[in-house]
Structure 1
Amino acid sequence: MHHLSKVAGAVFAGVLALAGSSEAALGAPRAASEPPSFSVAVAGVGLPSRISLTSEAAGVTSFDYAVAGGRAAAVPAKDGAAAGNIVFPAAGPADVTARAYAGRRLVGESTQTVDVSDVPGVSSDEFLNPDVTPLVGTTGTFTFTPHARGVVKYYWWINDGGAQEVRARHDGTAKVSWTPPADVSAKYELFVQSVTAAGAQSARYDEWVRIQDPRPGIEPAAGTHEVGEPVAVTLSNGASQATGFVYSFDGGPQQSVSGAAVTVQVTPSHAGDALFTAQTVLAGGTRSKAVTATVTVTDMPQVSVVSAYGQTQPVATEPTTFTFTPKVPNVVSYQYTVDGDGPHPVAAGPDGTASITVIPDTGQHSLTVSSVDAAGVVSDARDYEYTSLDPRIEVFAEFGDGAGEWGFFSVLNDLSPVTVAYHWSVDGGPEHVTPVDPNSGGVTDLEYRPALSGTGTVQVQAEYNDGTLSAPAGITFEVG
Structure 2
Amino acid sequence: MSFGARTRAVLAILGTLGLSLAAAAAPASAAGGTPTTPTQLFNGYRNCSTDADRPTFLWGSNNVVVEGIPGTTDPTDQSQVSVRYEAWPVTDPSQTSTVTRDRATPGFEATGVLPGDTLVDGQTYAWRAQTVAGGAASGWSVPCYITIDDTGPASAPAVSSPNYPPNRWNQGGDPVTFTLNANGADDVAGFQYAWTQPLQSIVLADFGDHGVPQPRDPYADPGHFTRTDAPGGSATISLIPPSTGGTLSVRSLDRALNPSETTAYRFLVSTTAPTVTPADPSPEFGDTTTFTLRPDAALQAKSPVVSYSVHTFGGPDGDRTFDVAAAADGTATTELTLDGLTGEHVSVTSKSANGWVSDPASWDIDYDTTPTVVSDVYPENGSGGGAGVPGTFTFTPKVKGIVSYTYSFDTEPEVTVAAGADGTASIEWTPDSAGSYGLQVYATTRSGIQLIPYAYTFTVDRQFDHSN
* TM-score, normalisation: structure 1: 0.36
* TM-score, normalisation: structure 2: 0.37
Query: Which structure has more RCO (C-alpha within 8 Å, separation ≥ 6)?
Result: 2
Bigger strand share? 1
